[in-house]
Amino acid sequence: MTKLSFPFSEEKIRALKVGDEVLISGTVFTGRDAVHKYLHEGGALPDGVSLRDGIIYHCGPVMMKQDDGSYQCTAAGPTTSIREEPYQWQVIRDFGLRGVIGKGGMGAKTQAACKQYGCVYLHAIGGAAQVLAECVKKVRNVYFLEKFGSPEAIWELAVEDFPAVVTIDAHGNSLHEEVFARSQAALAQALALKS
According to DSSP, the β-strands at 154-168 and 21-30 are antiparallel
Question: CA angle, 76 as apex, 167 and 172 as ends, to 5°?
Answer: 15
Measure the CA–CA gap between 51 and 99, rounded to whole angstroms. 10
- Tell me which residues are annotated as active site: 36
Phi, psi angle pair for 37, to nearest 5°: -65, -45
Measure the CA–CA gap between 189 and 195, rounded to whole angstroms. 10
Measure the CA–CA gap between 46 and 19, rounded to whole angstroms. 34
How many residues are there in the chain?
Answer: 195
